[in-house]
Amino acid sequence: MTLDYIDVGPGLLRVRHGGNGPPLLLLHGHPRTHMTWGHVADLLSPYFTIVCPDLRGFGKSFQPVDSEDSRYSSKRAKALDCVALMQALGHRTFAVAGHDRGSYVAFRLALDHPEIVTKVAVIDSIPIIEHLERMDWRFARDWYHWFFFAQPEKPEHAINADPRAWYSRIHPDFMGKEAYDDLLTAIHDPAVVHGMIEDYRAGLTVDRQDELQYRLAGKRIACPLLCLWSTKDDLEYFFGDPREIWRLWAVNVTGHGIESGHHVAEENPGDLANSLQRFLSGE
């Protein structure tokens, strides 16, 4: 895999890419970098040309400018980065898989660019507006950070005071030392912490509004969509079968659970890679 910094217009994205076959874009979640995909990329690279970027605001990619509604950290802006990145690498069309926050970028790519995205996989997520409309006190209790991160300044102060304490569950057991060290560098950089928090602020402002407008317009994803979720996480506990929710947003939805905790690319890369390979190969 080759490590590059590629200009996508507003700034440089750090990206690792390589492999053989049709292009597959892999998008990480919070607070990860592209390194979370390492094991999965190794398993898939004999069959696909893998492209793994740090999303804007994360890792060692550029930091977007601030705005009152966080629009420069929106999933639409990040999707445009991804289109520019893939075009710079010579890929006019491609498949995309996203985990956690990265799944919202994958979702936005499939909605905004149906002529480019051939297939989309979303992992451990449902649309943001569905989260907000279906949640109850249990979700607010267990996922309070969605709303804490929406507050001005305080989240950054809390995290930067002791990043290791805030992200206390991070350890190298599954991800490996290289990915672990890369992640430690990210969470100890106040600029990156701000960029990651802005992703959540955008979620409750422009991203929610963008999803609402598409729903009111009746727009749905036309390409095949694979919905995967971690059975040891709590998505199904809070919202039931996530495939049923995604069928409100896409015309061709398949999927299943994978035995894993939330960071499935690190905890069960074999089953995740197999699921993506079967879906992308049409098996």
Say how far apart CA 223 and CA 249 lie, in whole Å: 11
Is the C-alpha dihedral spanning 195, 189, 146, 30 positive or negative?
A: positive
Backbone angles phi, psi at 153, to 5 degrees: 70, -45
Q: Is 262 annotated in the active site?
A: yes
Distance (Å, rounded) from C-alpha 31 to C-alpha 146?
13
Secondary structure (3-state) at 95:
strand
> What Cα–Cα distance (Å) separates residue 105 from each residue in 13, 111, 113, 160, 275?
15, 10, 11, 26, 20
CA distance 251 to 66: 36
DSSP string, 121-154: EEES---HHHHHHH--HHHHHHTTHHHHTTSSSH
Which of 89, 103, 83 shows the shortest CA–CA distance to 199?
Answer: 103
Catalytic, out of 17, 54, 99, 100:
100
Residue type at 95 in one-letter notation = A
Token representation of residue 207: 């991203």
Residue 167 DSSP symbol: T
- From 28, 91, 262, 263, active-site residue: 262
Q: Which residue has the tokens 């001005």?
A: 152
Task: Tell me how far apart the alpha carbons of residues 155 and 233 are, in angstroms, rounded to a whole number.
Answer: 24
Instruction: Show which residues are catalytic.
Output: 100, 262
